Amino acid sequence: MLATTDITALLVQARRGDERAVDHLLPQVYERLRQLAHRYLSGNLHQTLSTTALVHEAYLSLVNQHDAVWQDRAHFLGYAATAMRHILVDHARRKAAQKRGGGQLALDWQSSDIPVDCIAGEMVALDAALAGLGTLDGRLAKVVELRFFAGLSVEEVATVLGVTTRSIVRDWNKARLFLHHALETPP
């Protein structure tokens, strides 16, 4: 895995117009996205969204942002997590429209595996709840996005957001409580 300073240095060089930095950055970013996608989709035997498809969609989303200027690793990972979230939720919406909610499973907040096809309805509900959380506290929503969708550890999220690990643990607990309540309460 690429070190924080390496990603940040390559992003800074790329922002200054160094094409060699872009050439070095993109394959490494692609590999990181592939690892994340494999992590969330592993163990999902009935999936129609493959690791490769998820990575390609996220990668295309990232490289097609010609006006995006990633300041550092934190900014890049935040964007990558958002891109992955939108892809997974869009896929879940399509699956939910096909199934209309039959045979759904509950989300496991401790698991890093996201069986997208089996929890399509929950993914759509989670997206709505996460949007609600974001209006109340943007950092709590970003913590969920980085932990759940990007698969980052507490320590990595603390580094990305520039806060202590204790703050992330508190934020993670608050966010999970909010989302649990939002997902359990009928509309």
Q: What are φ and ψ of residue 143, in 5° steps?
A: -60, -45
Model confidence pLDDT, tens digit, residues 19-34: 788 778 777 777 777 7
Q: Round to whole Å and give the CA distance between 154 and 178.
A: 18
Return the pLDDT at 150.
Answer: 75
- The pLDDT of residue 68 is 67
> Where is pLDDT greater, at 182 or 75?
182
| CA geometry: angle 76, 41, 37, nearest 5 deg | 20
Name the pLDDT band for 172 (thresholds 50, 70, 90).
very high
Mean pLDDT, the chain, integer: 75
Classify the C-alpha dihedral 105-57-11-22 as positive or negative. positive
Convert the pLDDT of each residue in 54-111 to its tens digit.
777 877 777 667 666 776 776 777 777 778 778 877 877 777 666 554 444 455 544 4
> pTM above the 0.75 mark?
no
Query: Tokens at residue 9, please?
Result: 């240095």
CA distances 41 to 22, 54, 112, 126, 185, Å, are 28, 9, 9, 17, 28
